[in-house]
Amino acid sequence: MRKVRIRHNRGPAVFAFLFPESVTWRAKSEPLRRKNLLMSKRRIILALSGLSILLGLGQHEAAAQSTLMNVPSTDVVAAKKVYVEMDFLTNYAWQRKDSFQNYIPRAVVGVARNVEVGANISFTHVSGQQLPIEVQPNVKWQFYSNEGAGTAAAVGCILYAPITHRAGTDTLGQCYVVGSKRVSGRFGPRFTGGGFALLGAGADQQTKGGAIVGYEQPLAKRVSFLVDWFSGDNRFGYVSPGISITTSKTTALTTGYAIANHGRGKNALFIYYGKQF
C-alpha cells in the first residue's frame, strides 16, 4: 500500500447529522435529561483524559496514512505535518424529497511522531429543517509499529458535540482500538480490525459498541480499492466501498458509496479531497 494517502481520523465523524432521524429529539423531563447529560460528559472527559495520559508513553514512528474510507486506521499524520480536507456527502439517489447535503471541513496536526490531534465540523443541509452543526475534536495514538512485520496498532477517541440547535440533542464520545497487518509485495493488501465503544450514547443508538473491519488493495501506482465497516445499529453503522486516487505527492481524491447497516434511505455518495502541508 502506498504511503501517500494522508487522510486523518475521519472514521466516526462522517455520518454525524446526515439524516433527520439520526438526531435525537426525545421528550425527557428536564431534571432527568440534565442528570444523564452530566454523567455522559463525565464519562467522556474521563476517557479522553486517560488517553491523553497514555499519549506521553509512545515510542514508535508514525506512518503516512491515517484512515481507510470512514474507519480509523493504525496510522497517524506525521509529526509537524498538517492535513486539511473537505468532504461532501449526499443521499440524492434515494430521498429526492428530503435529500441532504453534508459538508465536513477537517484538519489534523501531527503533534508528535506517533500522535495526531484534529477537529471536524459537520454541517448538514435538509430543506425545511434546522439540524445542529457539530464539532468533533479527536485524538489518536499509534502505540505499536513494526514495519518489518507489517503490523501496527492504535487507540483513539472522538467527541461529538452540537454547537447549534442543542435542545434535544446528545453529546457523545467514541473510543476505539485497531490493529493492522500488511501483506508483503508490490500490491500486497492490508487488513485492519478492531472495536469501538460509545460513551454517553442515547437510546436512539441501538448498539453501544461493535467491530471495525477494513481492507485496502492497491490496484496501480496511484489507485487503490478500499472498503471498511462499522458494525451495529447506530450512526456509525455503514459499509463503505470506494476508490482512492493519489493526485499528487501531497493530495488525494477519494470517492465511494456508504451503505447503512439499517435503513436504505441513509445510504450516501461521498467525495473527499485532502492536502498535506
CA distances from 162 to 9, 101, 137, 172 (A): 19, 18, 12, 10
Q: Is residue 207 part of a domain?
A: yes
Q: Is residue 5 part of a domain?
A: no
Q: Is residue 65 part of a domain?
A: yes
Confidence of residue 57 (pLDDT cuts 50, 70, 90): very low
Task: List the single range of 57-61, 199-203, 205-209, 257-261 with lowest mean pLDDT.
Answer: 57-61
Reduce the DSSP state of residue 264 to 3 states and report it: helix
Q: Is residue 6 part of a domain?
A: no
Q: Is residue 3 part of a domain?
A: no
Q: Is residue 2 part of a domain?
A: no
Q: Is residue 253 part of a domain?
A: yes
CB 167 within 8 A of CB 33: no
Structural domain that includes position 121:
11-276
Task: List the single range of 31-35, 154-158, 272-276 with lowest mean pLDDT.
Answer: 31-35
The whole-number average pLDDT for the span 47-76 is 59
Predicted confidence at residue 131, as pLDDT, reads: 84
Confidence of residue 91 (pLDDT cuts 50, 70, 90): confident
Domain with residue 92: its CATH number is 2.40.160.40
Predicted confidence at residue 97, as pLDDT, reads: 67
Quick: pLDDT tens for 127-179.
778 888 999 999 999 999 999 999 999 999 999 999 988 776 788 999 999 99
Tell me what percent of the residues of the chain surpass a pLDDT of 70.
73
Number of folded domains in the chain? Answer: 1
